[in-house]
């Protein structure tokens, strides 16, 4: 899972994906991208990119722009209304341009910007800014991690950071106002998502921090600048502003907000009804698939992957010992339960867990030139998820960096509850979150040249997460695996599976892919077919090897982020389909490095646009 932004709801509105299926006729070929020729279009693109950075100043800083280094985004209701007016005005002006007169590249940029703004406006009618807190997100999660995302090398940047600390109480008050409007409208999240939010908010106002502001995560950049006058200002901002503001925010959550939240879990059971879920599905998958169609795809994928999983289980000694004589259903269940409870399946210490992940990354890195023609310039690292966020976070995620800003990307690993973090999922998880998954895709998009800067910031979930899930199979083509193995995993002997040569690692890969297929079933079940939370958790536990803690955490994530979890498998299936088409059509001329460059070097695209891009590349061959 990629976190390209760890900031307020504005950016979710601006960068999430498609309200309607995209016109594939507008996709560009995988050749040198032509410069923009329309002055009118260029002016609107420049305006939108500058506006986006001004409205999300922390995001601008992450891109290396210090123009707003002292600001936080304005989250007030008045600002939300103003943004809506400005976006509508920009869309009207964009649509006044004669698209028929544009070059192919101009037409693509115009259509993508139209797509982005239209989606922002459509989502805006559902007021996501009024529900900013869930099990994984909220100002009590993203603000304390702000320092880890920002370049803080110059005095301008550090002084700007201090001013941002001083502005946090105002932003918290603005967010509270938005949530109060949500309560008034009946637009509130399920109570189950907020069980730990009060504790997490109070952690930023703990007695330890009250008595020593240097213990706050907000003070982290100043631990080596104790004698600096900016450090003194930071301590004062924390003690006099941030601590009381978070205490008040926790009180608001506990006494006013949570009591007003709903018992139901599906978004269609909320005030905006089924339409809210349909918009979310279109946004995240960039398709027009209905909830029922996605549910059915999920059921088919689960059945197919369970068959492959059973074949892998029979390669282990479990089948000849504890599993002897069991039916397929019994064998599957017994194998999962055995390894969930086996001490050897888990790390004993967080330090050894981090060491193993870092060593695996070092094994993967030399394999990548064989699979990719273009490598990102920006490096990545492996870090622990902060303790205050870890308890409600998934097993891992990716935080993007920027070569322009001089900040690396980070593969973030959860080292809490080690008995719930199985080793057998390590290979697929690392490939997905680090390389060549999210780091490759997001870093290469950020480093694109010859496209307008707004294109480098697009983040269509089906593309981003679909690439991450597709990448998991690329481990079959590393460490001695043959090119093409990613398309035929079920036919491979263990010694042909590259990084998955160990049957337990392959079982972990299959469990993870099964988990993503289950998401199609569970997400639609929760939000379209009124599944209770317990049924969703039970379905994950019955069909995957993930632990009970992860299953509960995942379901809470789906409840709080409707539709997002469906994008993984939908995107992966499309990329696999395109690769199969390329290998079949090109035969011996197929070059996996050129295929991957074609997928990644257009930036993040809606799936129909990606398909047309690949088709044009194939025609050029």
CB-based burial of residue 13 (10 Å sphere; 0-12 exposed, 13-18 middle, 19+ buried)? buried
Compute the mean pLDDT over every residue in the chain, rounded to the nearest whole number.
91
pLDDT, residue 318, reads 86
Cα Rg of the chain (Å, integer): 24
Quote the percentage of the chain above a pLDDT of 90.
Answer: 82
Quote the percentage of the chain above a pLDDT of 70.
Answer: 94
Given phi > 0 = left and psi -120 to 50 = alpha, else beta, which region is 482?
A: beta
For residues 10 and 515, the model is more confident at: 515
Identify which of 239, 251, 169, 233 has the alpha carbon closest to the alpha carbon of residue 210: 239
Mean pLDDT, range 28-35, rounded to an integer: 45
Round to whole Å and give the CA distance between 21 and 49.
Answer: 23
pLDDT, residue 15, reads 32
Round to whole Å and give the CA distance between 511 and 514.
Answer: 5
HEC assignment per residue over 505-551:
HHHHHHHHHHHHHHHHHHHHHHHHCCCCHHHHHHHHHHHCCCCHHHH
Phi, psi of 190 (to 5 degrees): -65, 145
Mean pLDDT, range 298-322, rounded to an integer: 92
pLDDT tens by residue, 449-483: 888 999 998 999 999 999 999 999 999 999 999 99
Q: Is pLDDT of 18 > 50?
A: no
The model's confidence at residue 395, banded by pLDDT at 50, 70 and 90, is confident
Q: Is pLDDT of 36 > 60?
A: no
The model's confidence at residue 7, banded by pLDDT at 50, 70 and 90, is very low
The model's confidence at residue 410, banded by pLDDT at 50, 70 and 90, is very high
Could you count the other beta carbons within 10 Å of the beta carbon of residue 77?
A: 15
Q: Are 441 and 604 in contact (CB under 8 A)?
A: yes
pLDDT, residue 12, reads 33
Mean pLDDT, range 157-172, rounded to an integer: 97
Show Cβ contacts of residue 290 under 8 Å, excluding neighbours closer than 6 positions. 278
Identify which of 103, 43, 284 has the alpha carbon closest to the alpha carbon of residue 51: 43
Q: Is pLDDT of 4 > 60?
A: no
Round to whole Å and give the CA distance between 520 and 543.
Answer: 13
Q: Would the CA dihedral through 142, 144, 150, 156 be positive or negative?
A: positive
3-state secondary structure of 603: coil
- Please report, for residues 140, 308, 499, the alpha-carbon distance to residue 340 in angstroms, rounded to integers and kept in the order given: 32, 20, 22
pLDDT, residue 17, reads 31
pTM of the model: 0.88
For residues 596 and 553, the model is more confident at: 596
Instruction: Enumerate the H helices of 401-502 as residue ranges.
Output: 426-433, 438-446, 461-474
Q: Is pLDDT of 579 > 60?
A: yes
pLDDT, residue 2, reads 62
Lowest mean pLDDT among 89-103, 157-171, 381-395, 502-516: 381-395
Angle of helix 533-543 relative to helix 503-528, nearest 10 degrees?
160
Residue with tokens 């936080």: 72
pLDDT, residue 468, reads 98
Q: Is pLDDT of 22 > 50?
A: no
Show Cβ contacts of residue 441 under 8 Å, excluding neighbours closer than 6 positions. 463, 464, 467, 468, 600, 604
Q: Is pLDDT of 30 > 70?
A: no
Q: Are 568 and 519 in contact (CB under 8 A)?
A: yes
Residue with tokens 């995942």: 554
Would you give the DSSP letter of residue 497?
Answer: S
Cis? peptide before 380, omega within 30° of 0: no
């Amino acid at each position: 899972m990629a976190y390209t932004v760890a900031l307020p709801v504005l950016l979710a509105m601006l960068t999430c994906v498609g309200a309607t299926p995209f016109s594939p006729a507008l996709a560009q070929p995988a050749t040198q991208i032509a410069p923009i020729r329309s002055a009118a279009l260029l002016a609107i693109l420049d305006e939108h990119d500058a506006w986006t950075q001004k409205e999300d100043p922390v995001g601008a800083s992450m891109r290396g722009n210090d123009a707003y280094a002292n600001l936080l985004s304005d989250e007030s209701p008045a600002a939300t209304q103003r943004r809506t007016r400005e976006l509508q005005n920009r869309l009207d002006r964009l649509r006044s341009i004669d698209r028929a007169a544009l070059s192919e590249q101009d037409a693509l940029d115009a259509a993508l910007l139209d797509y982005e703004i239209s989606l922002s406006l459509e989502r805006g009618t559902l007021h996501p800014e009024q529900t900013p807190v869930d099990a994984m997100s909220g100002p009590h999660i993203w603000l304390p991690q702000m320092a880890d995302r920002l370049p803080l090398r110059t005095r301008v940047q550090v002084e700007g950071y201090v001013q941002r600390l001083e502005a946090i109480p105002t932003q918290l008050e603005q967010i509270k106002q938005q949530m109060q409007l949500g309560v008034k409208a009946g637009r509130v999240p399920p109570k189950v998502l907020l069980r730990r939010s009060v504790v997490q908010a109070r952690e930023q106002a703990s007695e330890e921090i009250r008595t020593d502001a240097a213990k706050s995560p907000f003070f982290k950049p100043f631990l080596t600048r104790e004698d600096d006058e900016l450090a003194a200002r930071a301590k004062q901002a924390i003690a006099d502003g941030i601590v009381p503001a978070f205490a008040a925010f926790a009180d608001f959550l506990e006494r006013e907000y949570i009591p007003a939240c709903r018992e139901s879990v599906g978004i269609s059971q909320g005030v905006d009804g089924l339409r809210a879920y349909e918009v979310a599905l279109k946004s995240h998958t960039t398709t027009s698939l209905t909830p029922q169609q996605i549910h059915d795809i999920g059921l088919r994928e689960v059945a197919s992957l369970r068959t492959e999983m059973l074949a892998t289980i029979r390669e282990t000694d479990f089948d000849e010992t504890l599993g002897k004589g069991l039916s397929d259903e019994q064998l599957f269940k017994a194998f999962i339960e055995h390894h969930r409870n086996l001490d050897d399946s888990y790390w004993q210490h967080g330090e050894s867990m981090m060491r193993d992940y870092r060593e695996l990354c070092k094994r993967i890195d030399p394999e990548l030139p064989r699979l990719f023609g273009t490598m990102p310039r920006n490096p990545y690292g492996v870090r622990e998820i902060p303790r205050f966020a870890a308890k409600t976070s998934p097993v891992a995620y990716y935080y993007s960096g920027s070569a322009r800003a001089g900040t690396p990307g980070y593969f973030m690993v959860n080292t809490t509850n080690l008995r719930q973090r199985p080793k057998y999922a390590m290979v697929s998880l690392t490939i997905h979150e680090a390389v060549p998954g999210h780091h490759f895709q997001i870093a290469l998009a950020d480093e694109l040249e010859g496209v307008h800067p707004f294109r480098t910031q697009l983040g269509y979930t089906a593309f981003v997460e679909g690439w991450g899930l597709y990448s998991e199979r690329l481990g079959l083509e590393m460490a001695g695996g043959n090119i093409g193995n990613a398309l035929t995993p079920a036919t491979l002997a263990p010694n042909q599976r590259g990084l998955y040569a160990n049957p337990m690692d392959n079982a972990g890969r299959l469990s993870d892919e099964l988990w993503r297929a289950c998401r199609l079933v569970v997400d639609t079940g929760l939000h379209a077919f009124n599944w209770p939370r317990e049924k969703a958790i039970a379905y994950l536990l019955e069909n995957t090897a993930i632990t009970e803690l992860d299953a509960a955490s995942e379901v809470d994530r789906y409840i709080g982020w409707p539709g997002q979890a469906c994008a993984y498998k939908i995107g992966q299936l499309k990329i696999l389909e395109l690769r199969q088409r390329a290998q079949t059509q090109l035969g011996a001329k197929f070059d996996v490095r050129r295929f991957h460059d074609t997928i990644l070097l257009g930036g993040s695209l809606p799936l129909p646009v990606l398909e047309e891009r690949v088709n044009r590349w194939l025609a050029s061959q």
